[in-house]
Every structure is written in C-alpha cells, then in structure tokens.
Amino acid sequence: MKKISLEKLNALFAEIAETKALYLPVDTETGAQYQKWEEGKTLSSALNTVRSAKDFFFPQTESLVHFKVEGKKIEIMDVRDEGAPFVIFGVRGCDVKSFELLDRVFLQDPVDTYYQNRRNNAIIVSLACSEPEETCFCHSFGISAADPAGDVTAWIKDGEIIFRANTEKGEQLLAPLPLEEGGEAKAEEARSEIEAITKKLPLQNLPLEKFKAENLMDFFNDPKWASLSQSCLGCGTCTFVCPTCHCFDIRDFDTGHGVQRFRCWDSCMYRDFSQMAAANPRLSQLERFRQRFMHKLVYYPANHEGRFLCVGCGRCLSRCPISMDIVKVIKELGGERDAK
C-alpha cells in the first residue's frame, strides 16, 4: 500500500493532471458534482455526487454519426472520438459496482463501442465511505462501502489517504506518484470502522430473497403496484439520478444541410417511452412504474445470474418529489410473499 498526507492531496492531483485528465467530486451550489480538476478545485467530502458517475461512460447526450447531404449525395461522417486515458477519483463503492452492471448491457454482443472506448480509457480510483448515511443500502446488494472495487482503492484516515492498487492500470497510475510506502494498519482500521457503521444502518437487510425469476408472474400481477404507483408523477428524476438506469433514445436532428444522429437518456417512466408505430404497450403510469422496478428486481437478475440492477446508492430516496423509491417497493412486495 501507499499513502500521502491529506495536506499534499492537491499537489498529488496536480501531478496526476500533468499526464491525464482528472475528474473528482467537487462541492457546488447544487451539491457535489464531478468536475475536471484544475488548480483551486478540492475533493468534496460529500458521500455521493448528485449525478452518478455513469455520465463518464454513458453521457446524457452524444452524437453518434453525422450525414452530410448535398443534392442526392449523402456522406456518412463517423464522429466517434477514440479519447485518451482519464482518471475518475473518489468514486464510491456503489457507483463502482454500477459500472459492472452497465458493462453487462453495453459490452455484450453487439458491443457499444462508444461506451467501450470510454471504459477502456478510464482509471477508477474508488474511495471508501468514511460515514455511510441512513439512505445507503449497498450492503443489501453485497457491495462493500469499506473496501470498494476499482483500479485503485483509497481510504482517508487520520489526516492521510492510503492507496491500494487492484489492477495493472492502478499500479501504473500509482507508480510514478510521490507516495510513501505503508498505510496497511490505518486502512484496516478504517475498514473495520466503516463496517461497524454499515451494520447499524436502517436499510441494510432488505427482503430481497423472493425477487427471483420463478416469481416473475406473481410480482407482475401483484395488486400492490396500483397503490405504489398511484402518486408517481412520471417525472423520470429517479431514472436520471440512478447510476444503473440506462435507457436511451436515438434521434435525428436536421441541421439544414445534413443530419446529426444523436442519442440521449430516456426514461421508462415517460408516457411515450415505449411508443411504437403500431401502439404503446404501456399506457398507464402503473405499467410504466412496474416496468422500472420489475427490470431492476426481476428481469435483470433473471438475465444476469441474480444480480440486481440497483446498487443501493440512495439517490432515488432523496430526489423523488413524492418520496417513492425502490426501498418502499422492495419492502412492500418482498416482505410477505411465500418463499418458493
């Protein structure tokens, strides 16, 4: 392991930023947000950013291809950017796990090369959560707030930051930096403290056992969806702040002398989300609401060896204007069903 005094952290950022773009959570008027590091920007102590780190790999909007039109001649222009290595510093365990869940979507055949380029270029430095909050429930999904994954894991303890490289990319990042050897004991102490806090959090053991493929139709037909979805505004906030939601739309923009094809985030909570030429299969908010949670709790696990499409980050708990969230759905639907 390697370590450095927190007082030297900004000098360390400057060192990293000399060779690679460096992004980190920075405090803003609207909460912590990832920003590119430059002199004067410091690491936020907030537990999580308002928007998740998925933006780095799956941006809210991006150009896919341009078509230049001249009379009857159409030229196709590949606007893909191969990019360059960059570092994301201070990613919490829940968001690091979200990358693995998104990889299973974007990197399966056919591979999304736009996403893949950015994933290949990224070096992830995760940061253990010194004080997990009451809205956190990553532990329910087997995620460790105390020892998050990533190319490098970092712990802050007693005025120092300790680093452990987990991958070759991580080792290459740390090797040239002016770090001291050591920090094992402090990292271990930090891990134990965080685990002790995590065990006491109120949402750590949610009733997830019954969310299995064999119960799919029981969950789908559960009458409780009516009351759960009754107040949902269909605003889509929960999907936009969620690190694992990944629905998108592809549209063409007529520039007057060509077409720009772009994709942008979409939400299964929106009325026209599943609109097709023939019809829309989800006409009510109940159906749309049910789709979001069935996808996270039943459909995705059925296709991905039981992994849930939620990392317990708690963003939807703090952002939904009607205070509806996945915890309420899990408790309501998962609590009383007979185990199969």
Where in 235-254 is the site for ligand SF4 (CB under 6 A)? 235-238, 241-244
Q: In whole angstroms, how close is the CB of 10 to ligand SF4 at the nearest point? A: 30
- Residue count, binding to ligand SF4 (CB under 6 A): 24
Among residues 83, 178, 306, 321, the one that binds ligand SF4 under rule CB under 6 A: 321
Return the number of the residue (190 or 238) whose C-beta is nearest ligand SF4. Answer: 238
Return the number of the residue (25 or 170) whose C-beta is nearest ligand SF4. Answer: 25
Return the number of the residue (96 or 238) whose C-beta is nearest ligand SF4. Answer: 238
Answer yes or no whether residue 138 interacts with ligand SF4 by CB under 6 A: no
Task: Count each helix (H run) and each strand (E run) in the chain, helices first.
Answer: 12, 12
Answer yes or no whether residue 313 interacts with ligand SF4 by CB under 6 A: yes
40 torsion bin: left (phi>0), alpha (psi -120 to 50), beta (else): left
Q: If we measure between CA atoms, which residue out of 16, 55, 18 comes closest to residue 35?
A: 55
Return the number of the residue (13 or 219) whose C-beta is nearest ligand SF4. Answer: 219
Give Cβ neighbours of residue 187 (< 8 Å, ≥ 6 apart): 1, 155, 157, 162, 164
Determine how many CB atoms are found less than 10 A away from the CB of residue 316: 21
Distance CA 62, CA 99 (A): 19
Cα distances (Å, whole numbers) of residue 284 to 30, 230, 236: 33, 10, 15
Where in 207-236 is the site for ligand SF4 (CB under 6 A)? 232-236
Among residues 320, 329, 330, 333, the one that binds ligand SF4 under rule CB under 6 A: 320
Q: In whole angstroms, how close is the CB of 100 to ligand SF4 at the nearest point? A: 13
Return the number of the residue (83 or 321) whose C-beta is nearest ligand SF4. Answer: 321
Pair 43, 9: CB distance under 8 Å: yes
Stretch that binds ligand SF4, among 42-50, 154-162, 304-312, 328-336 (CB under 6 A): 304-312
Among residues 32, 162, 174, 310, the one that binds ligand SF4 under rule CB under 6 A: 310
Stretch that binds ligand SF4, among 14-22, 70-78, 250-258, 306-314 (CB under 6 A): 306-314
Return the number of the residue (133 or 193) whose C-beta is nearest ligand SF4. Answer: 133
Q: In whole angstroms, how close is the CB of 242 to ligand SF4 at the nearest point? A: 3
Distance CA 274, CA 285 (A): 12
Q: In whole angstroms, how close is the CB of 175 to ligand SF4 at the nearest point? A: 34
Q: Which residue has the tokens 């532990």?
A: 139
Among residues 312, 329, 330, 333, the one that binds ligand SF4 under rule CB under 6 A: 312
Cα distances (Å, whole numbers) of residue 45 to 25, 48, 159, 161, 231: 8, 9, 13, 13, 34
Structure-derived torsion over alpha carbons of residues 287, 212, 210, 144, reported in degrees to the nearest 10: -100
Answer yes or no whether residue 91 interacts with ligand SF4 by CB under 6 A: no
Return the number of the residue (187 or 316) whose C-beta is nearest ligand SF4. Answer: 316
Q: In whole angstroms, how close is the CB of 313 to ligand SF4 at the nearest point? A: 4
Cα distances (Å, whole numbers) of residue 205 to 75, 162, 328: 56, 30, 13
Strand 2-5, strand 180-181: pairing? antiparallel
CA 290 to chain centre: 21
Q: Which residue has the tokens 């609109």?
A: 275
Where in 258-277 is the site for ligand SF4 (CB under 6 A)? 269
Return the number of the residue (43 or 320) whose C-beta is nearest ligand SF4. Answer: 320
Sign of the torsion formed by the C-alpha atoms of 331, 335, 336 and 340: positive
Residues in contact with ligand SF4 by CB under 6 A are 232-238, 241-244, 269, 310-316, 320-322, 324, 326
